[in-house]
Structure 1
Amino acid sequence: MTAPARKPPTTSTARRKLTSPTVAMLPRIADSLSFLYLDIVRIHQDDTGVCAEVTSEQRGTETVYLPTAALSCVLLRPGTSITARALTTFARNGTTVITAGSGGVRCYSSAVPESLTTTWLERQTRAWANDTHRLAIAQAMYEKRFGLGTATDGTNLDKLRGMEGQRVKAHYQLLARQYKIGRFRRAYDPASWDTQDPVNLALSSANTCLYGIVHAAITALGCSPALGFVHSGNQQALVYDIADLYKAELTIPLAFSLHASSNPEAEARRSFRNELRLFRLLPRIVTDIQQLLDPNTTYETPDPEEQLVDLWDPIAGAVPGGTNHGRDMP
């Protein structure tokens, strides 16, 4: 008897199978692209992936497919719409989606993927809840900002805050003299955004992009953005802590270089994105967070296929999950 012929798969089914990412295909957070800023587009999911539709009078509607599995963070400006299916795909691929304000200046909300492990969240929580450990990490953060050769052991936070204020002020004065722009004062006022000078506009725009990247790295590690060590009382306290490590190197010099720009916000985002390729910021963020939370050990991101939910034990710390422990009873 001849077996019935197998029905060939439909085109849409074959496309979905070919484009569906496997665990082995997903990049580590340190290897991911930095961020994608989307402006006045419609984002939706089709049979082959997530795409952005751009409509203009000159070219009509154009479709651009997004590399969801390689993106760490997506910034959505007002005027951008996204479907639930597209958001689901971003979540499955570990991409943080942030709703930003006009010009990418503010972060209104974020949709973060489910963390694969709580290893770093547990370390962060234990350190945050212990005043001695929290102070040591805060001191280490200030030491990273000050540079090599600056010891902060035994220095109280009040003095460290004063040292940080002097450092930033001196950095502003140095760059102001370098670019011959006279006296500079940092100002951020969303209510009078359009009246601010190009340096402040560029700095706010670049900092928001930096916050998005840091936020994506923190959540990808499984940490809580709300539990900061220097900052406190905000859902992005740790984001501000980590972002402050890089501003003097990345966003502040960039902003001053755009002092004569006619569109400093857009130029800041484009230039910042180009610099990220040079500085390889995401691997640095991941390494810095791990070293701050556990300075004596180097960790590799575990293989997601090997991760199971453990069971807490007051003596052993953790016992394997996915196991029937009833057989061990007498």
Structure 2
Amino acid sequence: MTTVSRRAALTPRQLTRAGDRLSFIYLERCTIHRDANAITAEDADGTTHIPSATIGTLLLGPGTRITHQAMSVLGECGAAVCWVGEHGVRYYASGRALTRSSALAEAQATQWANPRNRLTVARAMYRLRFPDDDPSAYTRKELLGHEGRRVKDCYRTQSLRTGIPWNGRRYTPGDFTSGDPVNQAITAAAQCMYGITHAVITAMGCSPALGFIHSGHELSFVLDVADLYKTEIGIPIAFDIAGEHEDDIGSHTRRALRDRINETSLLDRCVSDIQRLLLPETPHATALDDVHDTVTLHADGAHTVASGRNYAEANDADYLAEEAW
């Protein structure tokens, strides 16, 4: 037995490869239903048909309703579904991961479980953020120190660029209005980035909790990945908004960040960065394109053997066995 269950669904070889899918589709203020093997999005302007097999991850924004039949066909086609805020800037919940393979989840756990590998990934994250600095010899303490100085430099640079006074990061959890306008904008931008990266990480089948820089929180890896784009995207946008608007800073920041995310194809970049970090030995990692829908069993010597068999009579290296079912 090579599949998890005997459900009547498309086999992996019948599915569209992840690389050929429309990575992310965002819908809002519509009703989503099923028409044969397509999903339909109906709103005031009419009905749009979307072939379900071409969807990598469906992001459901505000005002969406989805039927049981639509969820059924999405599940059969291996598409992930995430419930998000406006244009994906908040993450609320999700369905299954996009991939049926555990390759990325296992790679993340393997890298995380080894302290030396964990530090290597943390250095790689630093290098993605600051490519002009070589962190290969940095200790954990040095990494944190260099990162802190670079972020402070970013705040000062953006303050000089926009003419907005900067008196340090001030944020009281649970009290958004306690900070000045630029601090409010930075907080709003950070929350948006957490939502985006949370949706991507979940869709890829990774654990949001196993972080390489942050630790001890259910969203440690989300915080790690979101920080990759803080100084490049989040902080500059926050200063821009603080200089242009005096009221409703949060909403203006979310909309500006939404537009920048679409302009820069940040979702696709985020997927690529996570694959590169977790599978560094695989150029152009293709874990999401794994078409295998198989379950194996751990055996001795770090090997695996086929599942669905009874190994009670196994007496040699070949694990001679009979069918279990």
TM category (shorter chain) comes to: 0.7 to 0.9
Aligned residues: 299
1:179-258 counterparts in 2 under 5 A? Answer: 179-189=162-172, 191-194=174-177, 196-258=179-241
Which of 27, 36, 39 lines up with 1:49 in the alignment?
39
1:136 maps to: 120
Question: Secondary structure of 1:235's partner?
Answer: coil
Summarize the Cα distance change of 1:65–1:186 in structure 2 as closer, same or farther, 3 Å threshold.
farther
2:64 and 2:178 mapped to 1: Cα distance? Answer: 25
Question: What CA distance in whole angstroms lies between the structure 2 residues aligned with 1:202 and 1:33?
Answer: 29
Q: Is the 8 A contact 2:105 2:205 kept in 1?
A: yes
Structure 1 residue 24, shift from structure 2 partner: 5.8
Deviation at 1:175, TM superposition (A): 0.4
Are the equivalent residues in 2 in contact too, given 1:45–1:51 (CA < 8 A)? yes
CA distance, structure 1, for counterparts of residue 286 and residue 260 of structure 2: 26
One-letter amino acid matched to 2:33: Q
1:94 match: 79
Identify which range, 250-259 or 105-114, moves more after superposition: 105-114
Structure 1, 248-257 or 114-123: larger mean CA deviation: 114-123
One-letter amino acid matched to 2:176: W
TM-score normalised by the chain length of structure 2: 0.73
For normalisation by structure 1, the TM-score amounts to: 0.72
Residues 329 and 93 from structure 1, CA distance in 2 versus in 1: closer, same or farther, beyond 3 angstroms? Answer: closer
Counterpart position of 2:7 = none
Amino acid of the residue matched to residue 39 of structure 2?
G
Tell me by how many angstroms 1:200 deviates: 3.5
Who is 1:116 aligned against?
100
Deviations 1:84-112 (A, max 9, x none): 55555665553342455x99876554444
Aligned 1:1-330 pairs, distance under 5 A: 26=16, 28=18, 32-34=22-24, 36=26, 38=28, 41=29, 43-45=31-33, 47=35, 49=39, 51=41, 65=48, 70=55, 72=57, 74=59, 76=61, 93-98=78-83, 107=91, 109-113=93-97, 115-153=99-137, 155-189=138-172, 191-194=174-177, 196-259=179-242, 260-261=244-245, 262-298=247-283, 299-301=285-287, 303=289, 305-315=291-301, 317-321=303-307, 328-329=320-321
Query: For residues 102 and 224 of structure 2, what CA distance do their matches in structure 1 show?
Result: 20
1:126 CA displacement: 1.7
Q: Secondary structure, in 3 states, of the residue corresponding to 2:238?
A: helix
Q: Measure, in 1, the Cα distance between the counterparts of 2:64 and 2:177.
A: 22
Identity of aligned residues (%): 32
Equivalent position amino acid for 2:267 in 1: L
| Residue ranges of structure 2 left out of the alignment (5+ in a row) | 1-9
Aligned letter for 2:294? L
Partner SS state of residue 36, structure 1: strand
CA contact (8 A) 1:98 1:212 kept: no
Note the C-alpha offset of 1:247.
1.4
CA distance in 2, matches of 1:73, 1:265: 25
1:302 to 1:225, Cα distance in 2 relative to 1, 3 A: closer
Distance 1:31 1:165, change over 3 A: farther
C-alpha deviation, 1:287, in angstroms:
2.7
> Which letter maps to 1:136?
T
Structure 1 pair 251–71 and aligned structure 2 pair: CA distance change class (3 A):
farther
Range with bigger deviation, 199-208 or 250-259: 199-208
Runs of 5+ in structure 1 lacking a partner?
1-19, 54-60
Q: Is the 8 A contact 1:308 1:322 kept in 2?
A: no
Listed one character per residue, the Cα deviations across residues 143-178 of structure 1 (whole Å, up to 9, x for unaligned) are: 32232342342x221222122111111101110111
Does structure 2 conserve the Cα–Cα contact (< 8 Å) formed by 1:203 and 1:252? yes
Deviations 1:202-251 (A, max 9, x none): 43333333323322332333221111111112222111111111111112
Following superposition, the deviation at residue 270 of structure 1 comes to 3.5
Q: Aligned Cα RMSD in Å?
A: 3.9
